[in-house]
Amino acid sequence: MIPYPLRSFALKSHHTNPHRRPVVLIDTAVLTAENRVAGFELGQTLAIYRIDEHNQSTTLMLVPASKRQMVCPKREFLDTHEVKMLPGAWNKMRAQQGDSLVQLQLRHLPGPNGFAQGLTMRNNPSTGELRFESQAITQDGDTYTITTVLANTDTPKPYACEHKLTWSVGDLFATVNTTFINRSDDALTVDMLSSFSLGGLTPFATDDAPGRLMLHRLRSIWSTEGRLESEPFEKLHLEPTWTGHAPNSERFGQIGSMPVRRFFPWVGVEDTQANVLWGAQLAIASSWQIEAYRKGDEAHLSGGIADREFGQWFKHIAPGKSFAAPTAIVATVVGHVDDLGHALTQSMVKAVDAQPAIEQDLPIVFNEWCTSWGKPTHENMLANRDKLKDTDTKIMVIDAGWTNRKNPEDAQENGDWNVNTKSFPSGLEGISKDLRDRGIIPGVWFEWEVATVGSDAYEMTDAQLHRDGMILKVGTRHFWDLRNPKAQDYLANKLIKQLKDANMGYLKVDYNDTIGLGVDGAESLGEGLRQHIVAVQDFFRRMRRELPELIIENCSSGGHRLEPSMMQICAQGSFSDAHETVEIPIIAANLHRAILPRQSQIWAVLHKCDDAKRLNYSLAATFLGRMCLSGDIHELDDWQLDIIKQSSLAYRDARPIIKDGKSRIHRDMGLSYRHPTGYQAIIRESVDGNDLLVVAHRFGDKPNATGNITLPDGNWSVKTNFGQKDLLSVKGNQLSVNAAPNFCGQVLVLSKA
């Protein structure tokens, strides 16, 4: 048996609160060639580094600190009947072996064997020849970084990889940054480089953990973001083979410039018997991949840029130069997949706290897209402002259609960005001033990364993206090449200057198609795409530098860019293009696992024909994130406006919990999102545990779709009650979801007595 010497480790700390304790070296030394196991306590997580005695790889394993005593010794050899019946040395089949914390493929070295090529590029000779070189821990205030260097020096073309695991006191997550370093005198070509790789799943079983491992993913298509998919490893063919030969990998991801398409760059693995989950989220807005990999008893999880096989990516590294992979966020938790989502999304808190001060109060937004449908006017904006004057609406956004278009019926004629003076006689400056005079932050929509057919900008092809030597056209769109100074100068004048001149305080950035597999201008199509997206994000940062109070909304046909690297540079994100569909509450709840609710802008599109039940259903969903109003606001009757005012008052009480809390999703519903049945109830607990936000929706008929939910301990009383009054009831710490009319919604704010 292969032991994990964790039980003997003694914690060296005088701090009693595990959340606030600094990094603790569990053993007496960092990892060295002689000290082949080292552990670090990162709050609630143990980071265990191990050099495998068999293949010399260096593995990183995460273990919840509360589960340290459950870590098991591992069997060294397979002991099944069929292996024992093999002749001679063949019946000494290793049950598992170490898996490197960096996965790498270099062009000049062979690919993996065992039928792996085309399935995965992991565990090839480029990775296998990496050897441990050094490890050190550094401190910067409350932030600690464990730097591990792996190298291959016994080769004519030496190279190294630097792996940094960074954690700050109090955080539930850590970040991983991986850098490839060319130490040779020749250029080297990298065909694959991981951002992260977690090994040893699961450390709580001595064998291959049959029936215990589950893969969690968040699937996504347009207007149906974030569906949780949970599959047993066995169903994905992720059982080890009878000899441990022939690895398998569930490699999935996204190719193009819409990073949330088919899947979010998010993954979880659960040991259902130990009640432990491991997960990761990639901070990348271009092509990416994640792999769940299995060859022996242990499973492994890795991800990063979509590699040469999967995403047309490779990178030439000159002698002495390096290349850094995108950041990954990693975590391990005890409990539920919602707990894992909460831990991972906390990585975005610090960046969101640095957004403009008004964002800290979660102001209500009005967007006129579903009001004018591409025909906004000065008068209409003010009419809607007058209707909403008694609510907490603080931001009003002019959506697509404000520009002077050659075809007035085309709201998407983008690129020239000249205001339509018939709709806005005093320009953007005039409507901005009138809204600010009424206490409103004015906002405007741009899809500034593209130029579409009909605009003069569409013809500026020398500053736009090409592929295979030809201009890249997707539908009616060309894409600006943000690596090109001409494109940057044009946008600085048309976008940044116009925002400044108009005194706009809010920018809705839309992005309505994907570039696809890549672009020219670099050694590979995938690298060209990556470089372009990095330049796009640099332009986002430039906007904030030049307009520090600008609130930026990240919209990409709804939720196609809801990943950490974009959400960390924007204040809000459009949760979906599901503007007024019945599945809005379902999608909005899904996103609690992927982004912060305080950034998730959820639309309530309201109409004069809506009855009270429909208004309550729509408005209640916005309590799952940021409230955004649209629709026929200027035509609503007084009784309908009263319901909006009631929701605005209730939202005041809910805001602190939306901003800082922890969510659990409860559902008894059918599979269909388009035709939902049953109910959903989201319980979000405040940081101090003294308040709860409950957002519940009943959908279509589902027999016996009522239920009781146990709340955290305490005697809970209703502080705020909005919406359908009979859907929910509370007694002590029991929440009842009652029989109520189909498609109704209710919101409660509960306080502990």
The candidate with the shortest Cα–Cα distance to 164, out of 60, 36, 57, 301, is: 60
- The C-alpha angle with vertex 50 and arms to 45 and 52, in degrees rounded to 5, equals 150
Bridge partners of 479?
450
Q: What is the pLDDT of residues 479-508, one digit of tens each?
A: 999 999 999 999 999 999 999 999 999 999
Let me know: does 218 contact 590? Beta carbons within 8 Å: yes
pLDDT confidence of 10, banded at 50, 70, 90?
A: very low
Q: What is the pLDDT of residues 175-195, one digit of tens each?
A: 999 999 999 999 999 999 999
When pLDDT is cut at 50, 70 and 90, the band that residue 47 belongs to is very high
The pairs formed by 470-477 with CB atoms below 8 angstroms and a separation of 24 or more are: 472/515, 472/516, 472/519, 474/513, 474/514, 474/515, 474/516, 475/513, 476/412, 476/452, 477/450, 477/451, 477/452, 477/512, 477/513
Prior bond of 202 cis (ω within 30°): yes
What average pLDDT score do residues 26-47 get? 87
Which one-letter amino acid corresponds to residue 308?
A: R
Strand 572-574 to strand 441-446: parallel, antiparallel, or no bridges (unpaired)? unpaired
- Supply the pLDDT for residue 22: 56
Residues 378-398: pLDDT tens digits? 999 999 999 999 999 999 999
Best CA proximity match to 467, nearest among 392, 529, 536, 548: 529
Average pLDDT, integer, range 279-294: 99
Residues 6+ apart with CB under 8 A from 519: 465, 466, 467, 472, 481, 525, 528, 529, 532
Distance CA 190, CA 325 (A): 11
User: What pLDDT sits at residue 13?
Assistant: 37
Could you tell me which of 660, 668, 732, 731 has the C-alpha nearest to residue 696?
668
Instruction: Give the 3-state secondary structure of residue 663.
Output: strand
pLDDT digits (tens, 9 = 90+) for 428-438: 999 999 999 99
Sequence-distant (6+) residues with CB within 8 A of 360 are 353, 659
Phi, psi of 371 (to 5 degrees): -100, -55
Q: Give the residue-averaged pLDDT of 404-414.
A: 76
pLDDT by residue (tens digit) across 647-661?
999 999 999 999 999
Average pLDDT over residues 329-355: 99
Q: At what angle do helices 378-387 and 427-437 cross, to 10 degrees?
A: 10
Rounded-to-integer distance, Cα 394 and Cα 364, Å:
6
pLDDT of residue 7: 34
**Closest residue by Cα to residue 625 from 699, 719, 695:** 695
Count other C-beta atoms under 10 Å from residue 103's C-beta: 29
Residue 27's pLDDT band (cuts 50, 70, 90): low
What lies within 8 Å, CB to CB, of 196 at 6+ separation is 176, 178, 280, 301, 302, 303, 304, 328, 330
- Mean pLDDT value across residues 329-346: 99
Closest CA to 564 of 288, 258, 282, 349: 282
Residue 714 CA to residue 733 CA, distance in Å, equals 6
Tokens of 716: 């809970």
Interatomic CA distance for residues 359 and 442, integer angstroms: 14
Q: What is the pLDDT of the chain when averaged over all its residues?
A: 95
Phi first, then psi, for residue 598 (nearest 5°) are: -65, -10
DSSP state for residue 612 in the 8-state scheme? H
Nearest to 66 by CA among 16, 18, 122, 14: 18
Give pLDDT, residue 146: 98
Would you say residue 255 has pLDDT above 80?
A: yes
Q: Say what the pLDDT of residue 24 is.
A: 55
User: Would residue 43 be called left, alpha or beta, if left means φ above 0 and alpha means ψ between -120 and 50 degrees?
Assistant: left
Percent of the chain with pLDDT over 70: 96
Angle subtended at Cα 189 by Cα 247 and Cα 317, rounded to the nearest 5 degrees: 135
Give the fold, CATH level 3, of 24-350: Beta-galactosidase; Chain A, domain 5 (2.70.98)
The count of other CB atoms within 10 Å of the CB of residue 285 is 29
**Residue 455 contacts residue 411 (beta carbons within 8 Å):** no
| Confidence check: pLDDT of 21 > 60 | no
pLDDT given for residue 494 in this prediction: 98
**Any idea which of 20-24, 68-72, 170-174, 204-208 has the lowest mean pLDDT?**
20-24
Task: Report residue 35 as tokens.
Answer: 């000290």
pLDDT (tens digit per residue) in 432-468: 999 999 999 999 999 999 999 999 999 999 999 999 9
CA–CA distance, 225 with 699 (Å, rounded to integer) = 18
Mean pLDDT value of segment 158-166: 99
- The predicted structure's pLDDT at residue 5: 40
- Between CA 593 and CA 356 the distance in angstroms is 24
Structure tokens at 114: 């065992």
Alpha carbon 6 to chain centroid, angstroms: 32
**Distance from C-alpha of 640 to C-alpha of 645, rounded to nearest angstrom:** 9
103-130: average pLDDT: 97
- In angstroms, how far is CA 129 from the centroid of its own chain? 33
